[in-house]
Amino acid sequence: MAVKPKVFVTRILPDAGLSLIKQACDAEIWTDPLPPPYALIRQKIISCDGLVSLLTDKIDAALLDAGPRLRVVSNFAVGFNNIDIAAATQRGIAVGNTPGVLTDATADMAFCLLIAAARRVVDGHQYTQSGKWKTWEPLGHLGQDLAGRTIGIVGMGRIGYAMAKRCHGGWDMKVLYYDVFKSEKAEKDFGARQVDFETLLRESDFISIHTDLNEKTRGMFSTAQFKQMKRTAVLINSARGPLVDQKALVEALKSGTIFAAGLDVTDPEPPLMDDPLVKFPNIVIAPHIASATFGTRNAMAEICARNLIAGLNGEKLPAWVNPDVENKRRKAGVN
């Protein structure tokens, strides 16, 4: 009987993917609810051929160097900011992610947060739970109208497009977008208009962030940007927490510089319980659950497993972050 490749899986995944991994690999699975410590992952991969990681796992050059047999890192996420891609490529290690399958689920959550924050749903729910609701109030819990307003999309990729589709098709919103690339599809389908960042900030009633996190976008929403937004504006972030300067957001919400915010991601995650952000009535914070549907997580798990198995077999990954590694392997004569 052939010896199965050894892998370390940093969390329990949906069975749609985990069963595939168990069948093809000698898999050790971290079962604690919290992520394994960095030092433990580094220790585990010393004897591993593959690694399944999450966004909460830091995969840097030092960790990769600890695994001389490591051939593939399969990330259970679309994003891969937790992985040093250049270091992995340099070492001939394939990296996979799970794009495409969570587009609709994430766009649904972004719009869910938009409605909840704009119409003060959570604030109203807490008002009811506390026993304060005594009668219908003509001036109580006033929120923002949605129909016919302007949505600003920061990052018109797959998820940004899906969010624009919901806003334009369902609520007849005008669509502005800020992106380094022109989206002819969004312009044709929704009459979207590509604008500079400052114009988007000034003219949008709602701003939804769907851009990558990198050194240029880190903290792109801070005090100066909030001051350019409408006082009635609602900010939605379902992308990455560090895109928003959280201290500046606290001040903007506290001072009424903007009306409200809806977040599925924070910096750090989770936010500290003494962070004033979690106490404000004009914010909705979800625990990073944009992809949390049965169908989406199952599909992510299956892609993650197939990336892992393909990398272990020296094959092309279904979703390959660093396909250049194949050329490096060929030059080195490695399968």
Task: Kindly report, residue by residue over 278-314, the tens digit of the pLDDT.
Answer: 989 999 999 999 999 999 999 999 999 999 999 999 9
Residue 136's pLDDT is 94
Q: Is the pLDDT of residue 85 over 90?
A: yes
Instruction: Assess whether pLDDT exceeds 70 at residue 51.
Output: yes
Residue 334 — pLDDT band, cuts 50, 70, 90? low
For 97, counting Cβ atoms within 10 Å of its Cβ (0-12 exposed, 13-18 middle, 19+ buried), the class is buried
Average pLDDT over residues 162-184: 98
What CA–CA distance (Å, rounded) separates 313 from 72?
Answer: 10
Higher per-residue pLDDT: 227 or 333: 227
Position 332 scores a pLDDT of: 57
Over residues 122-126, mean pLDDT? 95
| Residue 288 among the catalytic residues | yes
Give residue 331's pLDDT: 59
Q: Which of 288, 297, 302, 306 is catalytic?
A: 288
The answer on pLDDT for 222 being more than 60 is: yes
Catalytic site residue 125? no
Q: Can you list the positions of beta strands (E) in 103-180? A: 150-154, 174-178
The pLDDT tens digits for 184-211 are 999 999 999 999 999 999 999 999 999 9
Per-residue confidence at 333, pLDDT binned at 50, 70, 90? low
pLDDT at 328 over 70: no
Residue with the bigger pLDDT between 14 and 333: it is 14
Query: Which one, of 325, 324, 319, lies nearest residue 98 by Cα?
Result: 319
Q: For position 76, what pLDDT does the model report?
A: 98
Considering only CA atoms, give the Rg of the chain: 22
Rounded Cα distance between 82 and 140, Å, is 44
Catalytic residue among 240, 297, 302, 306: 240
Answer for the pair 65, 42: CB distance below 8 angstroms, yes or no: no
Structure token pair of residue 291? 């992809």
137-148 pLDDT per residue, tens = 999 999 999 999
* CA pair distance 194, 181, nearest whole angstrom: 9
What pLDDT does residue 335 have?
52
Q: What gap in Å lies between CA 23 and CA 26, rounded to an integer?
A: 8
Residue 1: band (very low, low, confident or very high) from pLDDT cuts 50, 70, 90: low
Q: How confident is the model at residue 326 (pLDDT cuts 50, 70, 90)?
A: confident
Residue 327 confidence (pLDDT) above 90: no
pLDDT at residue number 232: 98
Active-site hit among 231, 269, 315, 330: 269
For the segment 168-192, the average pLDDT, to the nearest whole number, is 98
Q: What confidence score (pLDDT) does residue 13 get? A: 98
Predicted confidence at residue 2, as pLDDT, reads 77
